[in-house]
């Protein structure tokens, strides 16, 4: 039997620990709660996707299809808007094994989010900065 160096053995242990980790984490916020939202072009596109039908819950993949924003940009925007109180989210109630896919996180505009998003778009129509 071949013996491993201590460094090689430590690397094997780290790899085994990574393989045995089954929990995926979801950050609830990307920092402290902040009700002020920076209005980038991408944020406006996300809000526009929700304003098409404000009562519908959308998964991140749905928003991606509607506005074409990459997931690395989209999900931080969704988290910031949720943290600011513009959105609420919940896991869909589906059994992953029977659906053949993981559960999706569904986002919905809050009444406050609907009001604020409408104000932002109205300010652009008036020629004002949001």
Reading phi first (left if > 0) and then psi (alpha if -120 to 50, else beta), residue 68 is in: left
Question: Which of 58-62, 72-76, 81-85, 123-127 shows the lowest mean pLDDT across its residues?
Answer: 123-127
pLDDT band at 101 (very low <50, low <70, confident <90, very high): very high
**Comparing 36 with 88, which gets the higher pLDDT?**
88
Contacts of residue 70, Cβ cutoff 8 Å, sequence gap at least 6: 64
> Cα–Cα distance between 102 and 105 in angstroms, integer?
10
**Burial profile 9-37: b = 16 or more Cβ within 10 angstroms, e = fewer:** eeeeeeeeeeeeeeeeeeeeeeeeeeeeb
Please check the confidence at residue 79 and state whether its pLDDT lies above 80. yes
Output the six-digit token pair for 42.
Answer: 């991408």
Domains and CATH numbers, the chain: 30-125 (1.10.10.10)
pLDDT score, position 5 = 75
pTM of the model: 0.70
């Amino acid at each position: 039997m071949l013996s491993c160096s201590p460094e090689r053995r430590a690397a094997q242990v780290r790899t085994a620990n990574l393989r045995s980790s089954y929990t995926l984490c979801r950050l609830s916020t990307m920092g402290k709660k902040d009700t002020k939202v920076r209005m980038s072009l991408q944020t406006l596109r996300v809000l526009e996707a929700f304003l098409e039908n404000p009562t519908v819950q959308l998964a991140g993949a749905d928003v991606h299809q509607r506005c074409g924003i990459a997931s690395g940009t989209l999900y931080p925007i969704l988290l910031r808007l949720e943290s600011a109180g513009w959105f609420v989210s919940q896991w869909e109630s589906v059994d992953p094994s029977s659906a053949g896919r993981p559960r999706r996180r569904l986002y919905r505009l809050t009444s406050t989010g609907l009001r604020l998003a409408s104000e932002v778009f109205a300010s652009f129509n008036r020629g004002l900065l949001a």
